[in-house]
Structure 1
């Protein structure tokens, strides 16, 4: 029996009080029949449990059950129900219990916040309504605390900080990290002083419905995805890496973003206008540009390693079995402890941080790039392309292996290959850049992979790129990370400065210095030609402390405050320790504002907005004639404006039509005359 039917039958408001006992007896008798049916056929109980699940879980499971019912082998359906559905139902209940902690349930017990317990089932409109209620609740708590704590007109910063922490504690009960939490929370070993200027903006965010809508929508998607993983709906045989729901959602999100960019321009204080779409496609957010920059940087590391005589190693680190939700055959993993995808990523980050500390204590150094990508069920694993001295290779490999397999060591036995793999790259068989190229392309846009099939999912790597990018966006996983080299943002700013200097100094001969200091100009020249190897060496080389690089990215606070009254940080340009921070070079001279493009048809736009438009006449009240061609495509015939002479004579000269439209009209007249 469905939940809606039970609520209807048990609700006194919908029942006649005189017949309530009869309905109750009928319901008890029906429950007895169900119990007897379940005893005779236990599979019926499993199917009833599936029918009680939320729609996003019930529909794909019932679709699979109906498919197996039509199977020629009658053993398929019982096997699926017993080996997949039964443990999945238990996993779903445990995942729900982990998501809704006791503090979360206490918050959901407040007035009008009970929908928090159904957060994974809500749509976007319902989440928006719920975010308004949550923001109102936090605002009420804030007002109450202000009345208790701010008794004086001039409150001290310590009191304001305590007010923030108490409001932030209430926000944390909803599994949401409060804004500015790391910078403002109490620490025993704090290195930097507390920045009290962050408090007003943080309090404004926690009381804003729009801020809560973004946070709750992100939390809803993460919860929904983890429930789908628990139901064995995210794996190589169903939907690899990420669920089908999230894939469609991210696809629609990208479409809306591109439509937004097409409909807006950027304008500066001088009146110069740029198409927002062109700016986005020319930036590093363009997958093609991102991939090219990544491969150029890897090639630069390869050339530096050859010059230094370093060797290249390729490592693969995988999480323990308890982080994997589904086996390769699509069945539930019995050792999964309901860990989320985010927790598997945090495990690898913490393991790498501990290894890095141990490596530095032993005075071992390396440089390279790390790629994070998903297993078929969404669990994170890492690939590392590392360069090091040949004499340090064995020590670094053994140390990394020890940290990679130290958790749940007993499950590996003598075979540690399931958790850690290492391979020395032989230049005679392939370059380091060729080893990492597949992983870079697979995690960006799939360009250059052709029809290569993934061994894990059995699907094309090029087609899987969309799944991987949706997975990284949902779980906020940093896919690529370089270490041991200068930052790439300074490289981009130098290239921007070089292009600006080229336009400004049109009369100068090619190769003329741009910066006064020869060392700094050499770094700029290397970045301008796109040679990462020369850029890194001119900056100071690899394995150099960040403070010793010649050129850094310069930042400054924004001039105008943001939505919440605080000033953000934006890129100003570059600066060098040689010249000092006071001699920064600006690469972002103009301040750009976003404006909406003027509509191509102002009258149509005005009508859509409800503004007054021109009155209807015989000329503008007639829609364009639409004729379909042989293929069924619509052909629009633009009718010219009717002149005063046409209105007086009551006639219209067809010869005024353009030649193309005239041919269409004549063809239509011919077809009409033949049919008559």
Structure 2
């Protein structure tokens, strides 16, 4: 029997870690092994034992992960397919003993695989179908892996301002790669509406809050609107920061340098966020009991070690500020409030002073820092603002933390839906006209008061900043057809806005007898969108040798060069290659919409092979379909070049003018 060397043992312990972590841990282990007193006989052995113990202690700080910590997204997708298939087999094997037993077996398998099974509050069939779906498994594994990797980075001491600020470099790179994949997909996919208009998904996304600049502008519009309301109502503003107890911080700062916090109890950022959420719920409940009403915004952002803290900007009556302050301090210090420095550092209270600037101007830097770094050079730790915003975004997505939340006022969903409404009835109530004018950028005409796009005007039209759930203009919805992939009822479909208006009832003699309410629905401008095949791809292209033998991609600036209209790939789920004398793949289904992935890839490979054979027979050299793996490979890459995606038909994308 060959005995394993110490070096081989150490390498085996860290083999599943990301390369950077593996290198550092092995480096620390080798340094610990070499640091011993050579004058002692047992010095080398003692150093080796200390090094081994230190390595095992470091590994013990790693979070539990369902896969290896260095697993790529491809590994996650492959594991999702594997686990879903195993669940399908288990469901088939246990169907004779009842659905309760089937669900119990599948839940045990989920726990074994390292993820949470669907909750007990979920109905039987939807839960079972979820555990047999590779998409559900993919989401669960990605979430579990994200938290495991980042939790391990915190446990190993990588996340702090002296190392990886806010979030680990591994998470930042993963997020950048994900954003790049998403951007490429949006740029290469075309949506076509019933009017024949075509846009890339990137063009449509650029006009929605998915665009960072649009998101930032909307947030600042709403914050500025709340401040205008406060000025009109002579309310006072206050800006305060809520910080988590010290035991929730992995690092503390001494003389500007990060130092391991001995009090740290292993609390992860999502758990610290839950602590803030609970604290804020208690604050709001206590204020409501005392009749104190507030409105404004809160922003969650990370400390340098990833622990979240909250910035809160709220407005209230001036004589209620004292109650607000005492209530905030009371509940912020309810947990470990007696520790040293708690009252000084747990709450940072700053009343707004108009002489020093507007509240919206003060909070603008926090909004920009957490979105795109707009007009910022450095963060508080001296890091580049653009890089900081990228790291903050990676942090928020890793831990699934909601960064911005409105406090009080009517909902923003109606505000956005009103922008899709082209016009309201001429006889609509005044508050509906005012709300519509406030969101649709109508210019001021001869000084008439129907103009500027302004959150404060919208809030007033909805019943005021303290309208609560009694706002006047609401979303109009209808029941959605069909069921989800898990057999559940679909969420109601938004079709526009609705409001109630009063009308008088006359009797036979013409006398007013009653006043009743009538509900009116105004539909918004929406399109039915058909998702076409990818516009272009860097990995593969459909090439055709024309007179100049210049290959062209599937779609360029001038259109689909080299192919007649009937020869182009279908933008529906039907194959258009049916004209006489043209390419006709024999024995191949003309629709891919409902095929399984395996069947789809097999058919796709057959299409590629058949098309290339047709090109060869017709003497059109160089006109075949090529993929990264060679012409006619039949794999998923070749499939992506010709796949007509007829399954993705949606109607919720805003039109271009939105």
Q: Residue 150 of structure 2 contacts residue 398 of structure 2 at CA under 8 Å; is this kept in 1?
A: no
Q: Residue 216 of structure 2 contacts residue 368 of structure 2 at CA under 8 Å; is this kept in 1?
A: yes
Residues 176/357 of structure 1: CA separation in 2 closer, same or farther (3 Å cut):
farther
Q: Residue 83 of structure 1 contacts residue 331 of structure 1 at CA under 8 Å; is this kept in 2?
A: no
2:462 to 539, 542, 546: 539
Deviations 1:473-526 (A, max 9, x none): 1111100000111111111111221xx33xxxxxxxxxx965622221121112
Residues 539/461 of structure 1: CA separation in 2 closer, same or farther (3 Å cut):
same
Pairing 1:473–2:440 present: no
Residues 355/271 of structure 1: CA separation in 2 closer, same or farther (3 Å cut):
same
Cα shift at 1:351: 1.2
Inter-partner Cα distance in structure 2 for 1:466 and 1:207:
35
Q: Judging by fraction of residues, say which structure has more helix.
A: 1
Inter-partner Cα distance in structure 2 for 1:83 and 1:358:
53
Q: Residue 572 of structure 1 contacts residue 586 of structure 1 at CA under 8 Å; is this kept in 2?
A: yes
Who wins on radius of gyration, i.e. which is larger? Answer: 1
Higher mean displacement: 377-386 or 236-245:
236-245
Inter-partner Cα distance in structure 2 for 1:83 and 1:360:
57
Q: Residue 306 of structure 2 contacts residue 395 of structure 2 at CA under 8 Å; is this kept in 1?
A: yes
- How many residues align? The count is 517
Cα shift at 1:588: 4.6
Aligned partner of residue 343 in structure 2, secondary structure: coil
5+ residue gaps, structure 2, are 37-47, 442-452, 503-516, 545-550, 555-568, 570-604, 624-658
Cα shift at 1:379: 1.0
Cα shift at 1:262: 1.4
Aligned pairs (5 A) from 1:97-496: 99=64, 116=66, 118-143=67-92, 146-149=95-98, 171=110, 176-179=115-118, 181=119, 184=121, 200-328=125-253, 329-413=257-341, 415-449=342-376, 451=377, 453-455=378-380, 457-496=381-420
2:520 to 555, 565, 583: 583
Q: Residue 239 of structure 2 contacts residue 349 of structure 2 at CA under 8 Å; is this kept in 1?
A: yes
Residues 172/405 of structure 1: CA separation in 2 closer, same or farther (3 Å cut):
farther
Aligned to 2:592: none
Aligned to 2:566: none
Q: Residue 269 of structure 1 contacts residue 590 of structure 1 at CA under 8 Å; is this kept in 2?
A: yes
Aligned to 2:20: 59
Please provide the CA RMSD for this pair.
Answer: 3.8
Aligned partner of residue 278 in structure 2, secondary structure: helix
1:553 to 462, 472, 475: 475
Cα shift at 1:348: 0.8
Inter-partner Cα distance in structure 1 for 2:49 and 2:249:
20
Deviations 1:513-562 (A, max 9, x none): 6562222112111222321111101111112221x111112333433544
Cα shift at 1:444: 0.4
2:60 to 90, 93, 100: 93
Cα shift at 1:324: 1.4
Aligned to 1:6: none
Cα shift at 1:177: 4.8
Inter-partner Cα distance in structure 1 for 2:29 and 2:186:
46
Residues 265/388 of structure 1: CA separation in 2 closer, same or farther (3 Å cut):
same
Deviations 1:10-62 (A, max 9, x none): xxxxxxxxxx4xx46xx6xx7xxx6xxxxxxxxxx9x9858732453563463
Residues 51/245 of structure 1: CA separation in 2 closer, same or farther (3 Å cut):
same
Aligned partner of residue 465 in structure 2, secondary structure: coil
Q: Residue 15 of structure 2 contacts residue 22 of structure 2 at CA under 8 Å; is this kept in 1?
A: no
Inter-partner Cα distance in structure 2 for 1:496 and 1:265:
21
Residues 621/596 of structure 1: CA separation in 2 closer, same or farther (3 Å cut):
closer
Deviations 1:167-203 (A, max 9, x none): 5576467564555x48x35xxxxxxxxxx6xx54443
Deviations 1:212-256 (A, max 9, x none): 122112211210111111111121122111111111111111111
Pairing 1:592–2:592 present: no
Aligned to 1:647: none
Inter-partner Cα distance in structure 2 for 1:513 and 1:215:
47
Inter-partner Cα distance in structure 2 for 1:545 and 1:55:
52
TM-score computed with the length of structure 2 as normaliser: 0.70
Aligned partner of residue 345 in structure 2, secondary structure: coil
Pairing 1:522–2:483 present: no
Q: Residue 16 of structure 2 contacts residue 69 of structure 2 at CA under 8 Å; is this kept in 1?
A: no
Aligned partner of residue 584 in structure 1, secondary structure: strand
Cα shift at 1:308: 0.8
Inter-partner Cα distance in structure 2 for 1:491 and 1:432:
22
Inter-partner Cα distance in structure 1 for 2:54 and 2:333:
28
Cα shift at 1:260: 0.9
Inter-partner Cα distance in structure 1 for 2:291 and 2:375:
39
Aligned partner of residue 56 in structure 1, secondary structure: coil
Inter-partner Cα distance in structure 2 for 1:435 and 1:535:
23
Cα shift at 1:258: 1.3
Inter-partner Cα distance in structure 2 for 1:556 and 1:432:
40
Inter-partner Cα distance in structure 1 for 2:345 and 2:518:
50
Q: Residue 127 of structure 1 contacts residue 216 of structure 1 at CA under 8 Å; is this kept in 2?
A: yes
Inter-partner Cα distance in structure 1 for 2:73 and 2:321:
52
Aligned to 1:640: none
Aligned partner of residue 122 in structure 1, secondary structure: coil
